[in-house]
């Protein structure tokens, strides 16, 4: 899976703003970030790079493995 | 997997709008690896079309906040305009800007102008726009100095978001973020005078329409790809092209393609391929002039593979030895090798700059990459090569008053129909953003106040939210997958043949006419995905039609049935716009003075050899 885990979130919302394909959201109840749409993650790591407490983990595989063109 | 409420993924993905059954009786997220379902039941259909909030009114609306949008907005403010800047994501984070790091400013104290132009002519197969390049050569050092002054060279690429935000806020630009613009508003005379978008983040409030009124609109909405496997295109889905096309603008450059690679192991892990570009601190200033024959980003490797010559080149991303190309006698120049290896100061043309690559990967590991594979950017064109067509260098959309475009949203052919080397993109965007703003300011000073056609706006709002109110229909995720699987394979966009293009076109037309009108969206995110799918499908049709239209081969457009450059008939751009019965395609000739010199032999003009080209030239008597 791509963005796989958020541990120790402080609820700053940086990752939600940084994520280009809208994978992450803030939970209304807890005020913390959660992975709402993991199938749309493009493994760009901007969430992780924007996180001030290094709470986000990613893996390099996508839910639906993409086909490539050649090679 | 640890289930910690609010932090880890929720097994049922309840907010996606799919039922548990639709997701294939999943047990945890692994079931999402299955193909997206075709027909889904909307688990939370909207019972009504939401009412829009108030208007955002300003003299100029800028769409997109990358290099082009930031330069456009600041320039418009400098001329006394009120400016609203709307972005699908967040300032400096969306689009290509959070990782753009190459720069190729033309420093006349180091470089020879004629050498740059001559090299570009050969490499771009004579199709680059010489006037845009002149503008680039004149203004790029100024952009470099501005970025230096702003502090952009002292931070990593994604940290420019902080710099951009401070500048925009200090200038009094109204920022509207996390709003996707879906259509432009026009008055009775066709003048663009506003836009409609929506909020897709419905975690606090239900998603709702957002309305903009402006005397002019500058589209800096970037390029796109089909949710690319392995390249940092991220949220880019040709939104600017779709907005402009529906408003009646001409779109150009769709027959040409980017050919950046990814790697065979985990091809979608874009960060693993482009890590250096996202984390480097400082500006890369490319060494030397653009190469006359830069290797690696042409169709060479695709052609090899298509002929059964399977080139196993280790590693993805840039750098390393590019795969050999058929029939191109070339040796990399020392500059090319220096640029390819991008090691410390050896990479810099200016000795007063330093680069900090930030050391090895954070966790110390080097990901296993496997072999280089093609098509990491499926659907993407060449930087600046595709987008809104402008005939007079004003950045104005030909035939659509009040609409301007800049950066990758503008089809300026600044650096040709194939990648002629790194470093043109972000500087080109900045230059064009500034220029678009100057033209828009001039227009706004004479333009009438925005008169909004309320009835048309209501119809647009209803159409926009239709997928939210449908109870059952096609899943946008399924549509996206079918699109990707139709357009990505080697033999459709890269190695072209009219029968294959027609076959793909029939499929894309079916999706556009029979599936798109029945897509469902269970929430704001799904609605965004649905509209993105629509925009990507429009682009797919444009690319297939342009590919059929240009009956020659040039740059990154290769027709197996026309494997040669046809200067007599095709020294031109292809433009397209929305007609009564679908897309209308036309040629736009380039100035005769830009043609290759008549005295130059064919193989001197075009050193790259297409398979089957020599036989064609012989039978047609072209020397």
Contacts of A9 in chain B (CB under 8 A): 6-7
Q: Is the dihedral of CA B178, B192, B225, B538 positive or negative?
A: positive
Per-residue pLDDT, B1: 33
Residue A22, CB-side half-sphere exposure with 13 Å CA sphere: 24
Residues B265, B373: Cα–Cα separation, whole Å: 9
The answer to whether position A68 is within a domain reads no
Least confident of B102-116, B336-350, B386-400, B570-584: B336-350
Q: Which of B200, B204, B229 sits opposite A22 (nearest CB)?
A: B200
Q: Which of B32, B90, B373 sits opposite A17 (nearest CB)?
A: B90
> Does B586 have pLDDT greater than 80?
yes
> Does B472 have pLDDT greater than 50?
yes
Bridge partners, B181 (sequence order): B197
pLDDT in tens, B527-544: 999 999 999 999 999 999
pLDDT in tens, B272-328: 878 877 878 877 788 788 888 876 678 888 888 888 877 676 655 544 555 556 556
Per-residue pLDDT, B26: 33
- Residue with the bigger pLDDT between B449 and B429: it is B429
Chain B residue with the nearest C-alpha to that of A27: B6
Which residue has 């200067």 as its token pair? Answer: B567
In 3D, which of B621, B583, B623, B577 has the Cα closest to residue B603? B623
B193: helix, strand or coil: strand
Bridge partners, B577 (sequence order): B584
The confidence band for B10, taking pLDDT boundaries of 50, 70 and 90, is very low
Residues B430, B99: Cα–Cα separation, whole Å: 15
Chain B residue with the nearest C-alpha to that of A35: B9
Per-residue pLDDT, B3: 33
The tokens for B438 are 């100057």
Bridge partners, A5 (sequence order): A57
Instruction: Name the minimum distance, in Å, from the CA of B158 to any CA of chain A.
Output: 8
Q: Quick one: how far is CA B622 from the chain centroid?
A: 36
Instruction: Name the minimum distance, in Å, from the CA of B253 to any CA of chain A.
Output: 21
Domain span including residue A40: 3-58
In 3D, which of B89, B58, B111 has the Cα closest to residue B289? B111
> At B474, phi and psi to the nearest 5?
-85, 145
The tokens for B481 are 């997958």
Q: B301–A71: do the CB atoms touch at under 8 Å?
A: yes
The answer to whether position A28 is within a domain reads yes
> Does B77 have pLDDT greater than 50?
yes
Least confident of B10-14, B512-516, B561-565: B10-14
> Does B571 have pLDDT greater than 70?
yes
Task: Tell me the mean pLDDT in the region B545-574.
Answer: 97
The answer to whether position A7 is within a domain reads yes
Per-residue pLDDT, B12: 35
Number of domains within chain A = 1
The tokens for B322 are 């590019």
DSSP state at residue B340: H
> Please, what's the b/e burial string for B489-515 (b: 16 or more CB within 10 A of its CB; e: otherwise)?
bbbbbbbbeeebbeebbebbeebbeeb
The answer to whether position A63 is within a domain reads no
Residue B428, CB-side half-sphere exposure with 13 Å CA sphere: 29
- Contact between B289 and B119 under an 8 Å Cβ cutoff? The reply is yes
> Does B17 have pLDDT greater than 70?
no
Least confident of B179-188, B339-348, B475-484: B339-348
Q: Which of A2, A26, A68 sits opposite B229 (nearest CB)?
A: A68
Per-residue pLDDT, B171: 98
pLDDT in tens, B221-251: 999 999 877 788 888 999 999 999 999 999 9
Counted residue by residue, chain A has a size of 71
> Does B27 have pLDDT greater than 80?
no
The tokens for B505 are 């076109």
The tokens for B419 are 């990648």
Least confident of B188-192, B280-284, B400-404: B280-284
Which class for B556: exposed (0-12), middle (13-18), buried (19 or more C-beta within 10 A)? buried
Which class for B548: exposed (0-12), middle (13-18), buried (19 or more C-beta within 10 A)? middle
Residues B328, B331: Cα–Cα separation, whole Å: 9
- Contact between B408 and B222 under an 8 Å Cβ cutoff? The reply is yes
Q: B488–A67: do the CB atoms touch at under 8 Å?
A: yes
Residues 6+ apart with CB under 8 A from B415: B120, B124, B128, B133, B290, B382, B383, B384, B385, B421, B424, B428
> Does B500 have pLDDT greater than 70?
yes
- Contact between B60 and B216 under an 8 Å Cβ cutoff? The reply is yes
Bridge partners, B403 (sequence order): B217
Which class for B80: exposed (0-12), middle (13-18), buried (19 or more C-beta within 10 A)? exposed
A71: helix, strand or coil: coil
The answer to whether position A9 is within a domain reads yes
Per-residue pLDDT, B265: 87
> Does B503 have pLDDT greater than 50?
yes
Residues B416, B224: Cα–Cα separation, whole Å: 18
Chain B residue with the nearest C-alpha to that of A61: B266
The answer to whether position A71 is within a domain reads no
B184: helix, strand or coil: strand
Which class for B307: exposed (0-12), middle (13-18), buried (19 or more C-beta within 10 A)? exposed
The tokens for B237 are 């889905």
The confidence band for B371, taking pLDDT boundaries of 50, 70 and 90, is confident
- In angstroms, what CA-CA distances link B68 with B415, B441, B609? 16, 16, 36
Q: A68–B228: do the CB atoms touch at under 8 Å?
A: no
Contacts of B374 in chain A (CB under 8 A): 68-71
- Contact between B377 and B259 under an 8 Å Cβ cutoff? The reply is yes
> Does B261 have pLDDT greater than 50?
yes
The answer to whether position A46 is within a domain reads yes
DSSP state at residue B496: B
The confidence band for B28, taking pLDDT boundaries of 50, 70 and 90, is very low
Residues B60, B55: Cα–Cα separation, whole Å: 14
Q: A29–B33: do the CB atoms touch at under 8 Å?
A: no
Instruction: Name the minimum distance, in Å, from the CA of B229 to any CA of chain A.
Output: 6
Q: Which of B6, B93, B262 sits opposite A34 (nearest CB)?
A: B6
Task: Tell me the mean pLDDT in the region B385-398.
Answer: 97
Per-residue pLDDT, B32: 42
> Does B112 have pLDDT greater than 80?
yes
Give chain B's mean pLDDT.
87
DSSP state string for B94-148? STTTTT--EE----TTT--HHHHHHHHHHHTTT-S-HHHHHHHHHHHHHHHHHHH
- Residue with the bigger pLDDT between B507 and B449: it is B507
Per-residue pLDDT, B23: 38
Per-residue pLDDT, B11: 35
The answer to whether position A65 is within a domain reads no
Instruction: Name the minimum distance, in Å, from the CA of A52 to any CA of chain B.
Output: 13
Element (H, E) at B322: none
Q: B373–A68: do the CB atoms touch at under 8 Å?
A: yes
Q: Output the CA torsion B355→B356→B359→B361 (10° steps).
A: -100
Per-residue pLDDT, B447: 87
Which residue has 């029979």 as its token pair? Answer: B514
- Contact between B559 and B497 under an 8 Å Cβ cutoff? The reply is yes
The tokens for B569 are 């008939």
> Does B214 have pLDDT greater than 60?
yes
Residues B255, B413: Cα–Cα separation, whole Å: 12
Q: Quick one: how far is CA B283 from the chain centroid?
A: 22
> Does B37 have pLDDT greater than 90?
no
Residue B476, CB-side half-sphere exposure with 13 Å CA sphere: 27
Per-residue pLDDT, B30: 36
Q: Which of B228, B367, B477 sits opposite A60 (nearest CB)?
A: B367
The CATH number that applies at residue A19 is 3.30.70.20
What percentage of chain B carries pLDDT values higher than 70? 86
> Does B5 have pLDDT greater than 70?
no
Per-residue pLDDT, B35: 63
Per-residue pLDDT, B276: 77
In 3D, which of B560, B510, B561 has the Cα closest to residue B540? B510
Which class for B568: exposed (0-12), middle (13-18), buried (19 or more C-beta within 10 A)? exposed
Which class for B390: exposed (0-12), middle (13-18), buried (19 or more C-beta within 10 A)? buried
Residues B5, A34: Cα–Cα separation, whole Å: 8
Residues B29, B1: Cα–Cα separation, whole Å: 10
Per-residue pLDDT, B295: 63
What percentage of chain B carries pLDDT values higher than 90? 65
């Amino acid at each position: 899976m791509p963005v796989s885990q958020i541990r120790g979130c402080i609820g700053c919302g940086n990752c939600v703003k940084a994520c280009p394909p809208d994978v992450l959201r803030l939970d209304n109840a807890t005020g913390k970030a959660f992975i709402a749409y993991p199938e749309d993650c493009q493994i760009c790591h901007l969430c992780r790079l924007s996180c001030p407490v290094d709470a986000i983990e990613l893996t390099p595989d996508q839910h639906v493995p993409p086909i490539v063109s050649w090679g | 997997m640890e289930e910690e409420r609010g932090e880890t993924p929720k097994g049922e993905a309840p907010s996606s709008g799919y039922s548990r059954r639709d997701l294939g009786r999943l047990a945890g997220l692994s079931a999402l690896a299955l193909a997206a379902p075709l027909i889904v039941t909307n688990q939370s259909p909207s019972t009504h079309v939401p009412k829009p909030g108030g208007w955002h009114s300003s003299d100029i609306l800028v769409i997109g906040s990358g290099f082009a949008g930031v330069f456009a907005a600041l320039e418009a403010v400098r001329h006394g305009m009120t400016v609203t800047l709307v972005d699908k994501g967040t300032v400096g984070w969306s689009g290509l800007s959070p990782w753009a790091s190459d720069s190729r400013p033309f420093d006349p104290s180091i470089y020879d102008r004629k050498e740059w132009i001559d090299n570009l002519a050969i490499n771009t197969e004579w199709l680059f726009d010489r006037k845009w390049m002149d503008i680039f050569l004149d203004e790029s050092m100024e952009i470099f100095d501005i970025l230096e002054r702003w502090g952009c060279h002292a931070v990593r690429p994604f940290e420019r978001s902080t710099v951009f935000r401070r500048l925009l806020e200090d200038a009094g630009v109204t920022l509207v973020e996390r709003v996707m613009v879906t259509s432009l508003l026009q008055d009775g005379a066709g003048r663009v005078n506003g836009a409609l978008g929506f909020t897709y983040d419905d975690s606090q409030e239900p998603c709702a329409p957002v309305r903009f009124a402006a005397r002019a609109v500058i589209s800096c909405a970037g390029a796109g790809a089909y949710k690319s496997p392995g390249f940092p295109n991220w949220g880019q889905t040709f939104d600017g092209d779709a907005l402009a096309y529906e408003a009646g603008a001409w779109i150009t450059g769709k027959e040409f393609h980017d050919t950046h690679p990814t790697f065979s192991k985990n091809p979608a892990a874009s960060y693993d391929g482009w890590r250096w570009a996202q984390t480097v601190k400082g500006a890369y200033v490319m060494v030397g002039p653009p190469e006359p024959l830069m290797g690696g980003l042409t169709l060479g490797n695709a052609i090899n593979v298509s002929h059964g010559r399977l080139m196993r080149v280790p590693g993805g991303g840039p750098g390393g030895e590019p795969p050999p190309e058929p029939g191109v006698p070339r040796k990399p120049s020392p500059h090319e090798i220096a640029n390819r290896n991008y090691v410390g100061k050896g990479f810099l043309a200016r000795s007063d700059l330093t680069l900090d690559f930030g050391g090895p990967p954070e966790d110390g590991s080097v990901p296993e990459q496997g072999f280089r594979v093609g098509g990491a950017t499926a659907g993407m064109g060449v930087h600046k090569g595709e987008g809104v067509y402008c005939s007079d260098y004003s950045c104005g959309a030909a035939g659509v008053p009040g609409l301007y475009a800049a950066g990758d949203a503008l089809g300026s052919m600044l650096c040709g129909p194939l990648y002629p080397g790194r470093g043109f993109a972000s500087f080109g965007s900045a230059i064009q953003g500034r220029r678009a703003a100057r033209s828009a300011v001039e227009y706004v000073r004479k333009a009438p106040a925005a008169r909004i056609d309320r009835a048309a706006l209501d119809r647009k709002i209803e159409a926009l939210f239709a997928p939210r109110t449908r109870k059952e229909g096609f899943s946008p995720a399924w549509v996206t997958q079918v699109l990707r699987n139709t357009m990505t394979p080697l033999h459709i966009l890269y190695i072209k043949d009219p029968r294959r293009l027609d076959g793909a076109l029939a499929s894309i037309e079916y999706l556009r006419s029979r599936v798109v009108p029945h897509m469902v969206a269970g929430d704001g995110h799904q609605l965004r995905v649905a509209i993105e799918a629509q925009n990507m499908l429009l682009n797919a049709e444009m690319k297939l039609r342009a590919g059929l239209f240009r009956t020659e081969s040039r740059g990154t457009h290769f027709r197996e049935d026309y494997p040669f450059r046809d200067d007599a008939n095709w020294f031109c751009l292809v433009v397209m716009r929305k007609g009564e019965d679908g897309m209308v395609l036309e040629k736009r000739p380039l100035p005769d003075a830009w043609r290759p010199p008549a005295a130059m032999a064919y193989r001197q003009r075009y050193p790259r050899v297409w398979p089957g080209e020599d036989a064609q030239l012989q039978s047609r008597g072209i020397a």
